[in-house]
Structure 1
């Protein structure tokens, strides 16, 4: 049943991405509009989605413990992915600039634009968003510190200010509301919830428009892109799913199936959009980053349902 939900949702995403791509191709969605759309999603609809989702969830100790497990093991995900990406780059003999993009894109996936809508559909009622938000909070703390440091070749030594944004505040306030069971007026939640629901379709339209405008014909010929996709979309989530299940059972750590699936499937998400943007800003190989994003996003349409089926098989 869950795999059918993923396939159905990915088909919807595909249609919306085509809409965005056509909008970009015909000049309706120009570069300025893409920038606006990205900021509108990140700074308005997404925090509304996070806040309203958390406000609707009934707090319980099990939910909070599972959220903390997802948060903590996110750093394990990123450390393992960094090691895998670094080894993969060295085996291919990539130059330092390409190694940076390769390793960072192995670490960071599209956990917002694709992850949030997918887990919201897969685990309705806010549970999926809750665990996805826990993962995002941990991942962002590394993206905007270590990620910026690597892409700027050490020139930008601190990205801590980037963490102080409306999404971080929405996450922290949302966790506080859930943890202490604070009641928020229904009309306020409904207003923000309605706006937050726009996150999913707008995100897909944005991805489609972004991919169309990247000019990645030359980039997709780079062999490292396909090895990256193999590692990120298949090998790493398969390995982590098996290892985590053994670790949780060996140490008797009680984690819900929803939290377990979110933790592993966030690793299986296609390459992160922000790495392309940051690569361009800090003088990295943004064309290679664009190729990573394009190929991994297309391939994820097939790999995400397969990973979900695999994880459910492990949990039986």
Structure 2
């Protein structure tokens, strides 16, 4: 158990350091934004490219991986939505935000570093494949459901599905993670190799992804205090940290995923909620405090639940 926490605790200590530097004013809030931009647009794409360019897939299909993970998402999202509507008596818009907050894992900024620490390269391959469709699929689902809920609660028309898909597709074509994934797969399938000098540069940038990502997410947490709707926020947080990884674990086992892929999926599903849930809430001006509270609660208690899953998988 102690060896597991040796790998898990440093991840959350780096998040805490980031939070403290922003909270005390040692570094400005804009610095955290800049670090986040660097991670998302340069460091993590380099890590994904390097991982996939040298990966050995051995005929493994991504569809079982996607099925295992997104069944976990669907069950957790649906549970959160139903609890918000029928137990806490919230409207449809809050139901969508509750479900999304309970199932939108912070795969890029926390999941990747965690899997890199605990599982290693084969786990990073699994996460890279997941990231290919995770953000676009989750954002499409969240946007469509919020459009429908807003129309139902506030009245008025809603955008058509083709319009939503067009917007998401345009964003996807410019997404650095997707571009890195495509280039990595092309290099792999064509048997190409980087020169020694370029490989050194890519490796150095990739190595920066984990610590900088964790520091930046810690700095970002100063914007998401725990306030209001504590009952529903706490419930969504419990679903995120317990139900979602449990379902992903069960689905991975039933679908016969490789051990390292199972570990990577379960660990990344157990990490705190990502800020995209808050971005959806902010865009539709509903449930901002709920999403913000879930982000903070899951980050505060994530070290315990992530440590449990890491121990169980070991």
TM-score (norm 2): 0.85
Structure 1 segment 59-70 matched on structure 2, within 5 A: 59-62=56-59, 65=60, 67-70=62-65
Deviations 1:165-211 (A, max 9, x none): 12101012212333443322232122012012111111111122111
- The runs of 5 or more residues in structure 1 that have no matched partner are none
Contact 1:97 1:284 survives alignment (8 Å): yes
SS at match of 2:27: coil
Deviations 1:237-257 (A, max 9, x none): 224423542x33xxxx4x210
Is 1:76 aligned to residue 83 of structure 2? no
Displacement of 1:111 in angstroms is 0.9
Partner residue in 1 for 2:155: none
Displacement of 1:151 in angstroms is 4.3
2:260 to 258, 261, 267: 258
Partner residue in 1 for 2:24: 26
Q: Aligned partners of 1:111 and 1:23: how far apart in 2? A: 23
Q: Aligned partners of 1:23 and 1:229: how far apart in 2? A: 25
Q: CA RMSD in A?
A: 2.3
SS at match of 1:74: helix
User: Which 4+ stretches in 1 moved above 6 angstroms?
Assistant: none
Partner residue in 2 for 1:130: 125
Partner residue in 2 for 1:160: 169
SS at match of 1:275: helix
2:204 to 161, 169, 194: 194
Partner residue in 1 for 2:48: 50
Q: Aligned partners of 1:39 and 1:127: how far apart in 2? A: 26
Contact 1:68 1:134 survives alignment (8 Å): no
Partner residue in 2 for 1:173: 183
Q: Aligned partners of 1:280 and 1:288: how far apart in 2? A: 11
Deviations 1:253-288 (A, max 9, x none): 4x2100112223332221112222332233232221
- Once the two structures are overlaid, the 10-residue window that deviates more, 27-36 or 92-101, is 27-36
SS at match of 1:7: helix
- The runs of 5 or more residues in structure 2 that have no matched partner are 151-157
Partner residue in 2 for 1:37: 35
Structure 1 segment 103-142 matched on structure 2, within 5 A: 103-124=99-120, 126-142=121-137
Q: Aligned partners of 2:187 and 2:69: how far apart in 1? A: 22
TM-score (norm 1): 0.85
Contact 1:41 1:203 survives alignment (8 Å): yes
Contact 2:22 2:222 survives alignment (8 Å): yes
Q: Aligned partners of 2:92 and 2:26: how far apart in 1? A: 38
Could you say if the C-alpha distance between residues 5 and 195 of structure 1 is closer, same or farther in structure 2, counting changes exceeding 3 Å?
farther
Partner residue in 2 for 1:230: 238
SS at match of 2:183: helix
